[in-house]
Structure 1
Amino acid sequence: MANRAYNFNAGPAALPLEVLQQAQEQFVEFDNTGMSLMEMSHRGAVYEKVHYETENLLRELLGIPEGYKVLFLQGGASTQFAMIPMNLLSPGKVGAYVATGSWATKAIEEAKLFGDTAIAASSEADKYARIPSLTDVKIPDNAAYLHVTSNETIEGTQWQAYPDSGSVPLIGDLSSDILCRPIDVSRFGLIYAGAQKNLGPSGVTIAVIREDLIGKPSMTVPTMLRYSTHAKADSLYNTPPTFAIYMVNTVLKWVKANGGAAGMAARNGEKAKLLYDAIDGSGGFYRGFAESASRSIMNVTFRMGSEELEKQFAKESEANGFVGLKGHRSVGGLRASIYNAVPPESVQALVSFMKDFQSRNG
Structure 2
Amino acid sequence: MENNNITEEENLEGPIQDPSSDDLYEHFRFVAQKGQQPLRVDKYLMNYIENATRNKIQQAAKDGNIHVNDAPVKSNYKVKPNDVVTVLFEHPPYELLLVPEDIPIDVVYEDDAVLVVNKPPGMVVHPGHGNYSGTLINALTFHFENLPNNSSNRPGLVHRIDKDTSGLLVVAKTEEAMTHLAKQFFNKTTEREYVALVWGDVKEETGTIEGNIGRHPKNRLQNTVFYGDDADKGKVAVTHYKIIEQIGYVTLLSCRLETGRTHQIRVHLKYIGHTLFNDERYGGDKILKGTTFTKYKQFVDNCFKVLPRQALHARTLGFVHPTTGEMMRFEAPIPEDIEQCIEKWRSYSKNSTS
The TM-score with structure 1 as length reference comes to: 0.28
Give the number of the structure whose residues are more often strand, by fraction.
Answer: 2
> Relative contact order, CA 8 A, sep 6+: which one is greater?
1
Give the number of the structure whose residues are more often helix, by fraction.
Answer: 1
